Amino acid sequence: MIIAERKPIKELLEMLVGHDHVLLVGCKGCVTVCNAGGVREVGVLASALRIARRRQGRPIGIDEMTLDRQCEPEFISWLEEPLREKGYTAVMSAACSVGPQYIAERFDRVAVMPALNTKFIGGTLEHGVWAEFCRACGNCGIHNFGGLCPITRCSKGLLHGPCAGSSGSKCEVRPEVDCIWHLIYQRMKNLGQIEKLKALKPAKDWSGYWSGGVRRVVREDLTL
């Protein structure tokens, strides 16, 4: 899923300067799972902002709403009515950054602010701890590496093995994480595939990655 975390209150308050009636919109997708933007977080954030603004002597009205998903235009359209009726000057979106962008595209007279920092594609390690597993390079090759991704999980994205800084099985760049090459090596050994690691890998084709402009996936069979 997409992992996000809430921006610091201070930064959000700066965004809200000049606004006194806003809608805070959460999302029931990924950001609910990673406890950053679901119904509960929207509630907590709204009260925190209200209290802070009252203390500043500039009270703010914040209404709360949480959509099933913000990465679908269909759900974004649910905002139409409240925006028309209530005269909000701004919407703050607590979703991954697809949400605020969709809102901005749909409503051209309302300021849109991101409440979250969208971090990465990841998974849960333990309660409250998430880690990155994939950079969405567009051309998955992890079967060559025992099912583990060196592109994302090696700090240098190396394809032939560990750098000289790897020691004690930890990464030199981030000592709190495993050097993925230790895990890959162990897996390949267990699988009897060490030969595969000896092979020279061609320079990676990054054309399906960030270098190629906006990426799209089209499923002809699903298009109308």
Partner 1 sequence: MKAGSNLERLLRSGQFTITAEFVPPATGDRGLIERQARYFKGHVDAVNVADNMGAVVGTASWAVSRALLDLGLEPIMSLVTRDRNRIALQSDLLGASLLGIRNVFCTTGEHQKFGDHPEALNVYDIDSVQLVNAVRGLSGSGKLLGGAVCDKAGPFFVGAAANPFGDPADFMILRLGQKVRAGADFIQSQPVFDPEKFGHWVRLAREEGLIEKCFILATVMPLRSAREARAIHEKRRGVEISQDIMTRLEGVPEPEQAREGLRICAEQMQALKEMKGVQGVHIMSAGREEVIPELIKESGLETARARD
Q: Are strands 90-94 and 111-114 parallel, antiparallel or unpaired?
A: parallel
Number of residues that bind partner 1 (CB under 8 A): 31
Residue with smaller CB distance to ligand SF4, 50 or 201: 201
Instruction: State the Rg of the chain over Cα.
Output: 22
Q: Report the alpha-carbon distance of residue 127 to residue 23 in Å, rounded.
A: 30
- Taking CB under 6 A as the criterion, the residue among 88, 102, 181, 185 binding ligand SF4 is 181
CA angle 70/75/77 to nearest 5° reads 115
- Binding partner of residue 203 among partner 1, ligand SF4, none, CB cut-off 5 to 8 Å per kind: partner 1
- For residues 123 and 165, which CB has a smaller minimum distance to partner 1 in the complex? 165
Q: Identify the sign of the CA torsion 210, 31, 26, 118.
A: negative
Cβ at position 179, least distance to partner 1 in Å? 8
Task: Please report the DSSP string for 7-58 in residue order.
Answer: PPHHHHHHHHTT-SEEEEEEESSHHHHTTSSSHHHHHHHHHHHHHHHHHTT-
Q: How far is the CB of 154 from partner 1 (least distance, A)?
A: 9
The interface mask with partner 1, positions 185-204, x = CB under 8 A, is: xx-------x--xx-xxxxx
Q: Give the CA distances from residue 14 to residues 18, 131, 156, 180, 199, in Å, rounded to whole numbers and listed in that order.
A: 9, 29, 36, 40, 53
The single-letter code of the amino acid at 24 is L
Restricted to residues 145-174, the positions that interact with partner 1 (CB under 8 A) are 155-169, 172-173
Report the nearest approach of partner 1 to the CB of residue 155 (Å): 6
- Which x/- pattern, by CB under 6 A, does the window 119-158 give for ligand SF4? ---------------xxxx--xxx------x-xx-xxx-x
Residues 6 or more apart from 59 whose CB is under 8 A from it? 20, 50, 53
Residues in touch with partner 1 (CB under 8 A): 155-169, 172-173, 179, 181-182, 185-186, 194, 197-198, 200-204, 206
Residues lying near ligand SF4 in the complex (CB under 6 A): 134-137, 140-142, 149, 151-152, 154-156, 158, 162-163, 165-166, 171-173, 179-181
